[in-house]
Amino acid sequence: MAAVTRIDSESRPAVLWRGFLLYLLAFPLLPATFLALMDGRTVEAMARGAGFILCMAAATLIRKGIRLDNEARKRRLRRRASTVRYRLVGAVLVAAGIFLVAWLGLPNQYDLFDSVLWAIAVLVGCYLYYDFDSDSKGPDIAAIGITTEELVELLDEAEGKLLAIENSSRRIHNIEFKDRLRRIVKEARDILDTIERDPVDARRARKFLKVYLDGAQQVTEGYARTHTEGEQHALEDNFRRVLTTIETVITEQQMKLAENNLSDLDVTIEVLQMQMEKEGVT
């Protein structure tokens, strides 16, 4: 079974609630900023506004770091999720925001030393509750030329195109075409599984995943949109020829991944692009 998870109407990604509390905690700073402005306390308003912005940015970064870590675990990826330590950067930002609010946004309540203590306490609290991004547990990221973040985005984008092909195939009534598209999607998912198991292949197959799958999606959607408009025998012949080329390309891709050789795949992809334009089914 392919390790790439299909997303459909019955199986959708769970909502990421962890880290959402930071948004709620930062929200009171927004009305506090306007109140300070109305009273003419410019420095306090600027400190509170800056604290609000920093806390909101920190929440976004921390949640992104958590999401990437969850994706890496789901996809069984061992390398560090990103070259950017989102949770660490987020924790530093929220600590800086709290420091500004305590020191300048709440005058006569906390001196500089107390404000620093508040910042340190927040930083430690973020570490204890959210943890910081894990170090790489596999080969160095530079050794494979792609981060887990980039790999997850690449696989998600490719899976989205395959789902679009499946949706378009449901509007096609030709049994032959539906069967061929079903095989194409299955073989493409096998390639995604191969890339997920060996991320080294992702960097070399990046153009295939973007250009080839994008072309396959365009040609399928184009045919599904126009094939019901009267007699379309010529269009069917054109679509059949393009499907044959697509099947050839995906077979060659599988072979080249197995051989660790993608040197001449670009030529085949360019041939597919030119044929799609010539057949006029996009």
Confidence of residue 7 (pLDDT cuts 50, 70, 90): very low
41 burial via Cβ count (<10 Å: 0-12, 13-18, 19+): middle
> Which of 110-114, 193-197, 211-215, 222-226 ranks highest by mean pLDDT?
110-114
CA–CA separation, 52 and 149 (whole Å)? 27
* pLDDT tens track for 8-20: 433 334 445 677 7
- The pTM of this model reads 0.54
CA–CA separation, 30 and 128 (whole Å)? 27
Mapped onto helix, strand or coil, the DSSP state of residue 8 is strand
CB 68 within 8 A of CB 101: no
Q: How many residues does the chain have?
A: 282
CA–CA separation, 217 and 199 (whole Å)? 24
